[in-house]
Copies of this chain bind each other. A is one copy, B any other.
Amino acid sequence: MSTIREICKKAREGKDVMASLSTVAKNKALEEVADALVAQTDYILSANKKDADEWKSKGKNEGMLDRLLLTPERIEGMAVGLRQLVSLDDPIGEVLYMKERPNGLRIGEKRVPLGVIGIIYESRPNVTADAFGLCFKTGNAVILKGGSDAINSNKAIVKVIRDVLEANNIAPDVLQLIESTDREVTKEFMKMNEYVDVLIPRGGAGLIKSVVENATIPVIETGTGNCHIFVDESADLDMAINIIFNAKTQRISVCNACESLVVHKAVKDKLLPALKKRLDEKNVELRGDAEAVGVLKDIKTATEEDWGTEYLDYILSIKTVNDIDEAIAHINKYNTGHSECIVTNDYNNAQKFLDKVDAAAVYVNASTRFTDGFEFGLGAEIGISTQKLHARGPMGLKALTTTKFIIYGNGQIRE
């Protein structure tokens, strides 16, 4: 097994290979990887079975086993994801602009790969193919560090991919897998600034926190979503109920699900009972402040902790406010910078909410569930950034690129 430094160095060498690949060559390899993954289904499943057996023999949580398990359908899903990437425009090489300066220098900015991307993730082996595909399409070398529970599955998937690369005369070192399951090695990896340009953690809050705290390599943080919907005085209440029901219950385990309702006091008596009736269809538990409890009676009282909690469950907190300013202040205090919505028919309040709420995606009159790369028309998604550097909100292929200045002169010197 190579040392982490050797792995990173090899990826760094692969960077130049990737930067020179044409779109045609990248798309051909992606198609063939998709085919090979399906063709090698049995091989991948037998490796995955080792991981599953190990999981069970250690007596680990059966409920969490599902995310580790592969099936023929899931492998087919990986292939579909890769084929979808083929159909997307290659962002590399685009010159964003070129202008001529007074001294005749022609200066432009050109889109280029980031270089070497490190992806640190948990025990979902499908991320292995997905992360490889996104980085490969954007001309980057990639170093993968998946969860140790999935190590056999990841080794098998990476072997299938590297074999296809080799058959395409692409140095397989452009894809590296860290096989060590030692946490200290992962920490060492996070400090390999000499070789790695960017780290992207994909997973739960604990993983992301560990990367942010330990990495010296620049990190693109993907984050949690404590998303609010504010129902303003002028809202169409039927629309509000539809949006809240959708944002809360359409899929509860995702970061763009609604976790907290903020209600203008003028509409609480009319809105809350009708909303509760609708949410009862899905047995959503409500936790309200004193005013909300006053209307709905038999619901729990929300605590300070509730306002800051991403439930990822059939639970919704309810805060009543006197006006939009109080709503915005509450949201800016407790949100995680993900997705926030106002339901209103008031022009000024709609604009105020869009202006003042500090989040990656701010909505008027629509469900927060739309915050993702496909729904926003980006075509693919590596994650949703809740930080403000480089990329904010759903990250498509362009988030995996950078730019460089290119300058055409004819002998200019600086006076």
List chain A positions with a Cβ less than 8 A from chain B: 15-16, 19-20, 99, 101, 105, 107, 114-115, 193, 197-198, 212-213, 216, 218-221, 236, 239, 242-243, 245-247, 250, 332, 350, 354-356, 358-367, 369-371, 375-377, 387-390, 392-394, 402-414
Candidates B375, B388, B408; contact of A198 at CB < 8 Å: B388
Q: Please tell me if the beta carbons of A239 and B407 are within 8 angstroms of each other in the complex.
A: no
Q: Please tell me if the beta carbons of B212 and A216 are within 8 angstroms of each other in the complex.
A: yes
Least CB distance, A35 to chain B, in whole angstroms: 30
Main secondary structure of the interface of A (DSSP, over half): mixed
Pick the 10 closest A-B CB pairs, nearest first: A366-B409, A246-B413, A369-B414, A388-B402, A390-B390, A361-B405, A366-B412, A389-B390, A365-B409, A239-B411
Q: Please tell me if the beta carbons of B356 and A19 are within 8 angstroms of each other in the complex.
A: yes
Q: Please tell me if the beta carbons of B389 and A404 are within 8 angstroms of each other in the complex.
A: no
Given contacts A242-B411, A242-B413, A412-B370, contact A213 B216 (CB under 8 A): yes
Give me 9 other A-B pairs in contact (C-beta within 8 A), A20-B355, A365-B411, A393-B403 excluded: A115-B388, A213-B216, A218-B219, A246-B413, A361-B407, A364-B408, A365-B410, A370-B414, A393-B404
Q: Please tell me if the beta carbons of B16 and A361 are within 8 angstroms of each other in the complex.
A: no
Q: Please tell me if the beta carbons of A377 and B246 are within 8 angstroms of each other in the complex.
A: no
Given contacts A198-B388, A332-B16, A414-B250, contact A405 B356 (CB under 8 A): no
Given contacts A115-B388, A377-B107, contact A246 B370 (CB under 8 A): no
Given contacts A389-B198, A405-B361, A406-B354, contact A414 B218 (CB under 8 A): no
Q: Please tell me if the beta carbons of A407 and B363 are within 8 angstroms of each other in the complex.
A: yes
Chain B residues positioned under 8 Å from A221 (CB to CB): 218
Number of this chain's copies in the complex: 2
- Give bound CA distance, A364 to B388, whole Å: 34
Q: Please tell me if the beta carbons of B408 and A365 are within 8 angstroms of each other in the complex.
A: yes
Which residue from chain B places its CB closest to the CB of A357 in the assembled complex? B404
- Give bound CA distance, A264 to B241, whole Å: 72
Q: Please tell me if the beta carbons of A366 and B404 are within 8 angstroms of each other in the complex.
A: no
Chain B residues positioned under 8 Å from A390 (CB to CB): 389-390
Q: Please tell me if the beta carbons of A413 and B367 are within 8 angstroms of each other in the complex.
A: yes
- Give bound CA distance, A70 to B99, whole Å: 38
- Give bound CA distance, A19 to B388, whole Å: 15
- Give bound CA distance, A246 to B412, whole Å: 10
A-B contact pairs, 30 of them (CB 8 A): A16-B356, A101-B376, A105-B370, A114-B389, A115-B358, A197-B387, A212-B216, A218-B389, A236-B411, A242-B411, A243-B413, A360-B404, A360-B405, A362-B405, A362-B407, A363-B407, A365-B408, A365-B410, A366-B409, A366-B410, A366-B411, A370-B407, A370-B414, A375-B414, A389-B390, A389-B402, A390-B390, A392-B403, A393-B405, A394-B405
Candidates B365, B389, B409; contact of A389 at CB < 8 Å: B389
Least CB distance, A110 to chain B, in whole angstroms: 8
Candidates B377, B407, B408, B409; contact of A101 at CB < 8 Å: B377
Chain B residues positioned under 8 Å from A411 (CB to CB): 236, 239, 242-243, 365-366
- Give bound CA distance, A197 to B388, whole Å: 7
Chain B residues positioned under 8 Å from A409 (CB to CB): 363-367
Which residue from chain B places its CB closest to the CB of A329 in the assembled complex? B16
Which residue from chain B places its CB closest to the CB of A104 in the assembled complex? B366
Candidates B107, B389, B404; contact of A392 at CB < 8 Å: B404
Which residue from chain B places its CB closest to the CB of A214 in the assembled complex? B216
- Give bound CA distance, A216 to B215, whole Å: 8
- Give bound CA distance, A359 to B390, whole Å: 18
Chain B residues positioned under 8 Å from A245 (CB to CB): 413
Q: Please tell me if the beta carbons of B404 and A107 are within 8 angstroms of each other in the complex.
A: no
Chain B residues positioned under 8 Å from A393 (CB to CB): 403-405
Least CB distance, A412 to chain B, in whole angstroms: 4
